Structure 1
Amino acid sequence: MDLSSTVSGHFTIITVNATRIDSVAAIQFKDAMRAATDTAVGTIVLDLGHVGFIDSSGLGAVVASMKQLGAGQQLDIASLTPDVAKVFRLTRMDSIFRIHDSLDALPHAKAG
């Protein structure tokens, strides 16, 4: 799974450079997230702007990524595409994660 990471203000932004997070990619996603968040501090924002499809395995991988974070780390979500946003709403994951409309909507940060 291709992830890229940048720091913007108080946020570590991890961008998923794939169009799908499904059962085929879920384990790779979890492993890549573990590596990407290992040294991150504070709020980590998962940018899902390129992801057009997520299934229950992918959603489980996102939740597992949140649960493996260390003390003082938090996982937020940003830039949900309409289909992925619908999955988050239907599964009530929108009540578990803080969701930002876009990276530009992050408080005191700009996409970069």
Structure 2
Amino acid sequence: MPMCCSKKAAQRQKEYEEEVRMRKLEEAARLEQEQRERDEARKAEIERIMQEEKQAELMKKKAEEDKAEQERLAQEQRMAEEQAEKERLAAEEAMNTSMSRGMSLSEPQQPMCKMPSGKFK
């Protein structure tokens, strides 16, 4: 075989090997890029889930605070109603006591009679 043919064959072989090497590098770069994109998507999904969980926790905490506030207000309302009832009963008792002091059992009770003016005596 002439020298020029073997040089051309060697050159073609070298070019072919270089092309194969370049394709392998491109494929490796493409695979690496895809892996990076998957990793970024996974990180973004994890971040999204963490944000949702954080938001859910905040909403749960807010609901618990609202419930506690409602219970506190209801308790205050019950206490105010109980206090008002005690005061009403105390006032009623005081009125009954003062009325019974005003009407002694030793005094004869006089029936109420109408005056000529139409008023009670």
The question of a shared fold, defined as TM-score above 0.5 by the shorter chain, is answered with no
- Rg larger in 1 or in 2? 2
| TM-score normalised to structure 2 length | 0.17
Bigger helix share: 2
| TM-score normalised to structure 1 length | 0.18
